[in-house]
Chains A and B, each alone.
Chain A
Amino acid sequence: MKINKIEVTLQNVVEKITKFYDPTTTHFLTLNGVAIDETKTEIQWIFADYMKLNDNTVFYVVVDQEDVVPSIVEVIPSAIMSQREVVDMFGIEVQNSAKGLYLDEDSLQKPLSGGCTL
């Protein structure tokens, strides 16, 4: 499937998504993280259109481990789950998202981040 990738920054991501997102034609798939190296992580917001052939839009931004990713729950309420997942899996702080969706305190922390080795 085709991917349209759009680069954003942490400051303008909420604004751009608000402008792009129309609940009647588009739906939000998920918030995804990809570890690039030990400290850098690529955060992706993935969208797809209803009833259009092979159409996916991905907003992405590369963040450091200490950065705080803005929350898009105000625009898209269903993003809350995937935001909590990213907090657990990558150890990156997302606004208004609590830890502990999947991981207990004694299990391996931030398992998908680049710095994690078993």
Chain B
Amino acid sequence: MSKKIVQIPLGSQHISLLEPVKFKFSCENEKIIDVDSDVGFVHRGIERACTTKFKYDKIAYVVARVCGLCAITHSLTYTMSAESLLEGEVSMKAKYLRVLMVELDRIHSHMLCLSHVSENAGYEALFMQIMGDREPIMNLQEKISGNRVQFDYIDIGGVNRDISLSVEDDIKVSLKELRGKIEDLINEFENNYTLSLRFKGIGALSLKEAQEFNALGPIARAAGLVTDVRSESNDLPYSEIGFKIVTSSGGDIYARNMVRLHEILNSITMCENIVSGIPEGEIKTKFKGKPNGEALFRLEAPRGELMYYVKGSSKPMLDRLRIKTPTFASIPAFVEIFKGQEYANAPAILASFDPCMSCTAK
């Protein structure tokens, strides 16, 4: 067969793509040789609005709308960077409650990604099953914060709502049930041919490439790169609640699924530890002053490292707010993974990245 280069577009509206993103694949016969991406469909201009429209104490609600899936991580990272420029101390209880919400959010985000991966493998039943198993977590989030997706739970000084005893019991019960289900899922993802053999060796990223292209989050950890911001900062009490870094090797879709599944198990352990040991204290403390100076904060979102840069000069409006989102930084790594793969695998590989375009474009 002669070599012929074909351009195949994917997106911006496509059945297997939840996100408005356009990829243009240059394919040589069936093989992808180059990828061009257009990620600007969701650009709204949040960074500018945060410095011209909203005061510093409202920004936590605005940046939560950068991304619905990691909303809590966005508002938490912003809040913590703003708090480091103000005078005051967050109580230990508020810190524990913040971590609890972040980890619950990570569980449901990873489960959503896994359900997408199984849907793209042609396993519709498992998609439905994981989406069904995810509902108790959504329910817990609603019980704690009052809403299923956009929590608006974190504010400067602490958290907005206290947790009641009955909710703590609910969390224990639901997480215990979920643990059993995730263990079954691990078995399924390891042994089912549709999910394991189909995905082994596909969309692989080597450790060297991961370092060269600065891959982040589960993609990097699946390639064997030991990086997790949760152990790179001591502002949140991660070391006290049993956090472990989950890594794998191989860097293919199968390894990414495994990393996500084991991270869910680790998050469940952490949530259980938090619920059984929430310290006493206030949920909100007063912070004084206006943000002055520069602060840079990183936090591990479900998709990788999230960074906020805040600059203020003692005014209610900030001078600059910079958001670096995980998907945005990983796009060069995505492009590298696509090269050399079969076009037929493109949707499955894309789903395994768990891309978030609303994060990317802001």
Contacts and interface: CB of A to CB of B under 8 A. Distances in A.
B100 interface: no
Nearest to B48: A111
Kindly name the residue among B40, B48, B84, B235 whose own CB sees the greatest number of chain A CB atoms within 10 A. Answer: B40
A53 B233 contact: yes
B233 A101 contact: no
Kindly name the residue among A29, A51, A54, A82 whose own CB sees the greatest number of chain B CB atoms within 10 A. Answer: A29
A48 B324 CA distance: 13
Interface string A30-64: 10101100000000101010111111101000000
Interface of B: 39-40, 43, 45, 47-48, 52, 84, 211-214, 225-228, 231-235, 294-298, 305, 307, 309, 311, 319-320, 322, 324, 328-329, 331-333, 361
Contact of B227 (A51, A53, A103, A112): A51
Contact of B214 (A35, A76, A89, A102): A76
B332 A103 contact: no
30 contacts: A1-B84, A1-B235, A3-B294, A3-B296, A27-B214, A29-B307, A29-B329, A30-B322, A32-B324, A34-B322, A35-B319, A48-B298, A50-B225, A50-B226, A50-B227, A50-B232, A51-B228, A53-B233, A54-B232, A54-B233, A54-B234, A56-B296, A56-B298, A58-B296, A77-B212, A78-B214, A81-B329, A81-B331, A101-B40, A103-B43
Contact of A1 (B298, B305, B324, B361): B298
Interface of A: 1, 3, 23-24, 27-30, 32, 34-35, 44, 46, 48, 50-56, 58, 76-78, 80-82, 89, 100-104, 108, 111-112, 118
A108 to B, nearest CB: 8
A30 B362 CA distance: 15
B309 A46 contact: yes
Contacts of B84: 1
Contacts of B298: 1, 29, 48, 56
